[in-house]
Amino acid sequence: MEGLADDVLRAVLTSAGGYDWCVTEFVRVTTTVLPHSCFTRLSPELKNASRTASGTPVRIQLLGSDPAMLAANAAHLALLAPAGIDLNFGCPTPLVNRNRGGSALLDDPELLQRIAGAVRKAVPPSIPVTAKMRLGIEDTDRALDCALALEAGGMQELVVHARTKQDGYRPLVRWEWVARIREAVRLPVIANGEVWKLADYRNICAATGCADVMLGRGAVADPLLARRIREGGAEHAVAADWDELKNMIAGFWAQVQLKLPPHQSPGRLKQWLGLMQRSYPQAALMYGAIRELRRAAEVSLALQRCGLILVSADPTDCHPDFPPGGLEFSSLQHSHPAPA
């Protein structure tokens, strides 16, 4: 998820288990073949056999409208051996759509097929190529045509976000359309949208006939949801989960400080806790404690007051402009060293 599920959050979330694979934020392809550094910046996991630290495969998502350019970029990306390449036909944001990308292409199934076919052909068969779509732009009239076009283009899996572009993120989700698509195509269909708890997963599988779901915001709100779905654990988040989550938050905070400049790192933590408070009251308290804070060092202190044991992260992985030893890092690393 763009601006949210970066490599740091992917590492933390997948460490809890329950994921078959995950996908990067989208890379926009326009008129050039992007350098490898663009892909490795977005997905440092490419240097780790395209897996998160805990071993979850990471697919790289491309977004664009030019079949030839998408194919050229996919071929170049394939040299880095990604665990998969995913094509985005779901993004509803005006900037992306104005440039004919994401869900704006859902009125043109023929173009979808050409894009899918060109990318599939450009990439070795060993690399899965998959697609993600919404149900349409303003209505669902072409939903089946789009899904069939992506299948004809050789996609191996299809994630269907059960809304049109016009639906945005309204609570209404059109599961019946995911069911229709699943019945119309032979490739595996993965249902996406509004999975926040175990019961949502069960209801959605029942309504769509899909065996799998893709978690979006629910994965961020409840970092243990995927595991709970896989293992059939407690119906809701339980109090005992919070100890595990505190460790995840501490790890995330350490890594975010290494990746981002000090004025940006508090925002990332607030973003995560802001979503997590939907599932955990303790996260709401923590969010309240840091909401007004701007400096990383102040946030570290507030987190400790909330009972977090701060850890230091691998300094070789740091933001080049903000090496450890700077004011913000020294307060993190020297005042609260990781337990031996």
Ligand X SMILES: Cc1cc2nc3c(=O)[nH]c(=O)nc-3n(C[C@H](O)[C@H](O)[C@H](O)COP(=O)(O)O)c2cc1C
Dihedral sign for Cα atoms in the order 256, 257, 260, 264: positive
Q: CA 226 to CA 241: how far, in whole Å? A: 13
Contact with ligand X (CB under 6 A): which of 18, 67, 84, 90?
90
Closest distance to ligand X from the beta carbon of 26 (Å): 4
Binding flag, residue 184, ligand X (CB under 6 A): no
Residue 211 vs residues 90, 277, 330: alpha-carbon distances, Å:
21, 28, 48
Q: Among 66, 151, 194, 222, which residue sits at the site for ligand X (rule: CB under 6 A)?
A: 194
**Segment near ligand X (CB under 6 A); pick from 8-16, 83-91, 233-241, 320-328:** 83-91
Closest-approach residue to ligand X (CB): 216
88 near ligand X, judged by CB under 6 A: yes
Please state the closest distance from residue 159 (CB atom) to ligand X, in A: 7
Stretch that binds ligand X, among 88-96, 113-121, 174-182, 229-237 (CB under 6 A): 88-96
Q: Cα-flanking dihedrals φ and ψ of residue 254, to 5°?
A: -65, -45
Q: Applying CB under 6 A, does 56 fall inside the site for ligand X?
A: no
Q: Which is nearer to ligand X, 137 or 254 (CB)?
A: 137
Strand partners of residue 89: 133
The CA distances from residue 46 to 6, 50, 77, 127, 188, in Å, are 13, 4, 10, 13, 25
> Taking contact as CB under 6 A, which single stretch among the options 45-53, 210-218, 235-243, 308-316 is the one that binds ligand X?
210-218
Measure the CA–CA gap between 162 and 175, rounded to whole angstroms. 6
Residue in 193, 223, 262, 324 binding ligand X, rule: CB under 6 A: 193
The correct pick among 218, 223, 266, 324 for binding ligand X (CB under 6 A) is 218
Which is nearest to 23 in space by CA: 140, 122, 149, 161?
Answer: 161
Residue 61 found at the interface with ligand X (CB under 6 A): yes
Q: Does 192 engage in binding with ligand X (CB under 6 A)?
A: yes
Catalytic residue among 22, 38, 91, 318: 91
From 42, 78, 195, 290, residue interacting with ligand X (rule: CB under 6 A): 195
CB of 100 to ligand X, least distance (A): 16
3 binds ligand X (CB under 6 A): yes
* Binding piece for ligand X, criterion CB under 6 A, among 12-20, 145-153, 179-187, 213-221: 213-221
- Shortest Cβ 60–ligand X spacing (Å): 11
Positions 121 through 150 that interact with ligand X (CB under 6 A): 132
Judged by CB under 6 A, the number of residues near ligand X is 20
What phi and psi, each to the nearest 5 degrees, are found at residue 55?
100, 5
**Which C-beta is closer to ligand X: that of 61 or that of 140?**
61
Least distance in Å: CB of 257 to ligand X?
22
Tokens at 27, concatenated: 């890379």
Task: Check: CB of residue 122 under 8 Å from CB of residue 71.
Answer: yes
Q: Note if 91 is an active site residue.
A: yes
Q: If binding is defined by CB under 6 A, does position 67 make contact with ligand X? A: no
Binding site for ligand X (CB under 6 A): 1-4, 25-26, 61, 88, 90-91, 132, 161, 192-195, 215-218
Catalytic residues: 91
